[in-house]
Structure 1
Amino acid sequence: MTTPILHHYPASPFAHKARCMLGFKQLAWKSVIVPSVAPKPDVLALTGGYRRTPFLQIGADVYCDTALISDVLEHLRPEPALYPPHLKGVSRVFAQWADTTLFWAAMAYNLQPRAAEALFAGQPPGAAQAFSDDRRAMGMPRLRPQDATAAYRSYLRRIASMVEEHDFLFGTEPCVADFAAYHPLWFTRTCVPAMAGILAATPAVLEWMDRIAALGQGRMEKFSAADAITVAANAEPLPLPPEAFQDEHGIALGSRVAIAAESFGTEPTEGMLVAATRTRYTLARTDPRAGAVHVHFPRIGYVLRKAETA
């Protein structure tokens, strides 16, 4: 099996979620640093349009969204489990809440003007404005800081009540829910430390965060974007899983389609629909640099449409 390649950048919260899951699985992986804002030509060579961070590459297969990356890592190394059998339902439901409601409240709190100024200190002039413009173009939700702060405090208290009795959210071992809840809090504590005072009222949360951090981030090897594209060009997509085609749209396999996120980062990826299982879509596409690739998306949170014809 080709070593997983994570395309990410250091301050991305969702990328940190992926890095922590790689550490939990004790996997070796290759690290490709991508730009935090557009343009991202090397990213688009592999994804065809999707530009959210991170995405995972294995040979000529590209996996978008950490919800799907979690499933891929679970398949690569089933133990320790991200989805313990007795928590399969609740861990997914909690993770979806954490990756959406909790995340956007936390980030609206985290990126208040005084924190954003510190975050971009030392970067070239205009970096903060470029980031703001880029995220606005991607459709970043705009919660008022006052409302976000109140919500974030409430969510932290709820998380604290879960980890006061256990080492992790649902017991003695972490699961996918822990990593989904951790990464926006990590951003508060590590990337905008001037805002980290909000965590002081929930010491149990800080102790839980320390336990997550102690799991590490696996064995990372630096890798270039050009080399990652070469890996894709020299590989063939993996055989598709023998799962039944689940048609909810009246769109046949082999059709030219576009897939985009429901919200935030709605740039579409176009290609041929080659799989639509209960949980994911797969598009086949060809790029002049990357060659033939399969790009995979989770069903939840993504919209499938027939591609527009000229």
Structure 2
Amino acid sequence: MVDLILHHYLTSPFSEKVRLILGAKKLPWKSVFIPPIMPKPDVEVLTGGYRKTPFLQIGADIYCDSALIADVLEHLRPEPTLYPEPEKGMSRILAQWADTSLFWAAMAWSLQPKGAAEVFAKAPPEAAKAFGEDRGRMSAGNMTRLRPADATSAYKSYLRRLSDMLDEKPFLLGEVPSIADFSAYHPLWYTRRIESVRTILDLTPAVIDWMDRMAAIGHDVPEKFTSEEAIAVAKASTPHTLLTDSTFQDDHGIPLGSAVTIRAESFGLEETPGTLIAATRTHYTLERSSERVGAIHVHFPRIGYVLKKAGD
């Protein structure tokens, strides 16, 4: 089994999603804690610019975005599957909704003034301001943030809909958890951590019971690892992707071998430059090199990311 190095921080919702998937698949992993806000020099040297959390490192391969990480972990350990039949397509669609619409409603509700005050209660006064400014730069006016009042309406509706799905089954799509469950769980997990705002969950007892079942999966105790150790692993390794599809799908008129940039569509707009060496139906791969890490491959999911020729 290859060494799985997860770069994350404890309160990151998307990190909790991946930690729980690792637990469900009983995969051992190494834990590298990274800063929640910029600067992140050790992150950027590995990703080339991508700064969202988490990302997964396997040797000299860097996998960005929790959706792509889930596919990698599924390849490494297919059972228990994240994509059970016959609801495989539905589970992915529901996961995408949960990682976007549900997530942003949950964050706007959870970090309303009283929630934010609790989250940063033990931090110096400038910490909340720095966090807010950092997240503002990540969107750079490219997305509309829900106001707390609007988030309240949306979040309550979403929770009721999740509750309806749990009327006659233990998990959202059946008897076992799928990627839909892991994706819907992590925004609610964040809310539940904050005493002043978690009462919204009390309106849907079936959702609370489901959250308890998800939490019981656990994610074991990882091996502690440092960013310097992770960088040393990358430099000593040769890139070798674990993504299984390889057929070139040219939707942009950009040939393989081109100098390109990739960034997220709406949040985390920092670009990663590199040489395009894969553009398949599911993912992009950039080749990069630097003195500090040597040659590495950085992988992104196709959905949710923008590919451009360098300089465009």
TM-score category, normalised to shorter length:
over 0.9
* Separation in 2, partners of 1:286, 1:86: 42
Q: Does 1:181 align with 2:184?
A: yes
Q: Check conservation: 1:27, 1:218, Cα contact below 8 A.
A: no
Query: What residue in structure 1 maps to residue 17 of structure 2?
Result: 17
Segment of structure 1 superposing worse, 202-211 or 231-240:
231-240
In structure 1, the residue matched to 2:238 is 236
Offset at 1:85?
2.6
| Alignment of 1:275 onto 2:284 | no
2:214 to 198, 212, 215: 212
Task: Provide the TM-score with structure 2 as the length reference.
Answer: 0.96
Matched, 1:199 2:196: no
Offset, 1:219: 4.2
Cα offset for 1:21? Answer: 0.7
Gaps in structure 1 of 5+ consecutive residues: none
How far apart are the structure 1 equivalents of 2:88 and 2:75?
A: 14
For residues 131 and 69 of structure 1, the distance between their equivalents in structure 2, rounded to whole angstroms, comes to 25
Aligned-pair CA distance for 1:163: 1.2
* Selected match of 2:170 from 167, 186, 203: 167
- TM-score w.r.t. length of structure 1: 0.97
Deviation at 1:236, TM superposition (A): 0.5
Provide the secondary structure at the position in 1 that maps to 2:101. helix
Contact 2:108-2:148 within 8 A present in 1 as well:
yes
Letter in 2 for 1:208: W
The runs of at least 4 consecutive aligned structure 1 residues that moved more than 4 Å come to: 239-242
Task: Supply the distance in 1 between the matched residues of 2:63 and 2:221 (Cα, whole angstroms).
Answer: 20
Task: Please point out which of 292, 297, 301 is paired with 1:294.
Answer: 297
Contact 2:245 2:280 (C-alpha < 8 Å) held by counterparts = no
CA distance in 2, matches of 1:113, 1:288: 44
Identity %: 62
Structure 2 unmatched runs, 5+ = none
The count of aligned residue pairs is: 308
**Equivalent residue, structure 2, for 1:107:** 107
- Asked if structure 2 preserves the Cα contact closer than 8 Å seen for 1:7 and 1:55, the reply is yes
Deviation at 1:125, TM superposition (A): 3.1
Letter in 2 for 1:169: L
